[in-house]
Amino acid sequence: MKARGESFTRGPAAALAMLLGLSLLAAGARADAPAASQSALDEPSALRLSQAAIGRPVGDYEFRDTAFKPVRLSSFRGRPLVVNLVYTGCNRACPLTVETLGRAVDVATGALGPASFSVVTIGFDAAADTPQRMRAFAIEHGIAKPNWIFLSADKSTIDSLSRDVGFVFFPSAKGFDHLSQTTVMDEDGRIYRQIYGADFESPALVEPLKDLVLGRKSDLVSLSGILNRIRLFCTLYNPASGRYGFDYSIFVGMFIGFVSLTTVAVLLVRGWLHGRPLQ
């Protein structure tokens, strides 16, 4: 079953919707895949582990990029980071997740700018997901964006990162069973939001990024802070175009409201002045 992704909001109804929309996919088979370590993925437990990670700081782990250069997670501090775990032997869930994320990243880049956030895709099959395989995977699925890199690491690092971000996976007869999850981290390296499913709508990614980029650091003292607040509330998603745009109608409504209130106030004052008795 393929479920559409949902970003998490608190409350019983939202939790139920999350459970219904959770995509716990058995990914495509690989000939050398290890035998299954359990019969089925426990969906409620996987969800609890994933949600428990929100607010948690992620360790400063070291990876290798597709050119074999070392990359530490701390190098992304200072702006939001989107973390996506896949394995290159997958032929269904992981390709779909990456391609869906690619579309969402394009929409987020258009709304917020290419320098406002970063994306990393990490291969969790440490034995097979080498820098060469990760490079080929990125090319195969059309990912070539300046703010997005593909990374590899050893098993110990992958296991530690997975615990930090609440990502659940285990070997199975089909390759790996795993939670289909995309994690949004804030500028300080703490988990801010989890997005579930291999085929989610772009706003599921863009809305938390909007909050982090425009809302969290905005104040009402500086000009830049005021402008960011305006962008936060007026940059809205248009389902018809599949893009975000600046909605001027909010300002038109505010202006009309201000003029209406001012007119009423003037009429009230004039009526009061005309009704005053002469001294």
pLDDT digits (tens, 9 = 90+) for 203-224: 999 999 999 988 755 455 554 5
What is the CATH classification number for the domain harbouring 34?
A: 3.40.30.10
pLDDT digits (tens, 9 = 90+) for 11-45: 434 443 443 344 444 444 333 333 334 446 677 88
Beta bridge partners of 184: 82, 193
User: What pLDDT does 264 receive?
Assistant: 74
Using CA atoms, how far apart are residues 212 and 227, in angstroms rounded to an integer? 15
Do the domain assignments include residue 274? no
Report the candidate in 92, 174, 87 with the shortest Cα–Cα distance to residue 130: 87
User: What pLDDT does 65 receive?
Assistant: 98
**Is the pLDDT at 238 greater than 80, yes or no?**
no
Band (pLDDT 50/70/90 cuts) for residue 105 is very high
CB distance 168 to 50 below 8 Å:
yes
Report the candidate in 117, 120, 142 with the shortest Cα–Cα distance to residue 211: 117
Query: What's the structural domain count of the chain?
Result: 1
Band (pLDDT 50/70/90 cuts) for residue 269 is confident
Query: Where on the phi/psi map is residue 120: left (φ > 0), alpha (ψ -120 to 50), or beta?
Result: beta
**Is the pLDDT at 120 greater than 90, yes or no?**
yes
In terms of pLDDT, which residue wins out, 102 or 247? 102
Do the domain assignments include residue 176? yes
Domain hosting residue 193, numbered range: 12-224
- Cβ neighbors of 69 (< 8 A, separation 6 or more) are none
Do the domain assignments include residue 258? no
Band (pLDDT 50/70/90 cuts) for residue 256 is low
pLDDT digits (tens, 9 = 90+) for 134-153: 999 999 999 999 999 999 99
User: What pLDDT does 129 receive?
Assistant: 97
Do the domain assignments include residue 273? no
Band (pLDDT 50/70/90 cuts) for residue 239 is confident
Phi/psi for 120 (5° steps) reads: -130, 135
Do the domain assignments include residue 129? yes
In terms of pLDDT, which residue wins out, 175 or 272? 175
User: What pLDDT does 270 receive?
Assistant: 73
Mean pLDDT across the stretch 128-136?
A: 97
pLDDT digits (tens, 9 = 90+) for 56-97: 999 999 999 999 999 999 999 999 999 999 999 998 899 999
Percent share of the chain, pLDDT over 70: 67
Do the domain assignments include residue 275? no
CA distances to 42, 113, 168, 176, 253 from 152, rounded to whole Å, are 27, 27, 18, 17, 51
Do the domain assignments include residue 239? no
Do the domain assignments include residue 231? no
**Is the pLDDT at 230 greater than 60, yes or no?**
no
